[in-house]
Amino acid sequence: MTLLIMLAVCIAALFGLGLLLIGGLLVTAALLPHGHPLADRLRNLASAVPRWTLRSALATEGLLAMGLCAFFIYAVIRFG
């Protein structure tokens, strides 16, 4: 149960950092003059952050699932 809580906290922190990154990129882009090429690049980068965040969260859950399966197989072989 504690492991699931830790996973939930890690994923929540990951999404929180993603939101902060998006906000920072968009605020920085808004501070630049209109038509500035860097502002367009920052907006494009901000639009890609949710996909990266979701991919990272799914990879974290996948690694945890593989680790739990490996532990279960080890326990069955060792103590079965």
Kindly tell me if the per-residue pLDDT of 54 is higher than 80. yes
Q: What is the pLDDT of residues 14-46, one digit of tens each?
A: 899 999 999 999 999 999 998 899 999 999 999
pLDDT confidence bin for 8, thresholds 50/70/90: confident
C-alpha closest to that of 51 among 7, 6, 8, 21:
21
Sign of CA dihedral 39, 45, 47, 49: negative
* Percent with pLDDT over 70 in the chain: 99
The overall average pLDDT reported for the chain is 89
pLDDT score at 4: 77
Which distant-in-sequence residues (6+ apart) come within 8 Å of 7 by Cβ? 60, 61, 64
Stretch (H or E) spanning 48 = helix 37-79
Domain ranges of the chain: 2-79
* Predicted TM-score of the model (pTM): 0.71
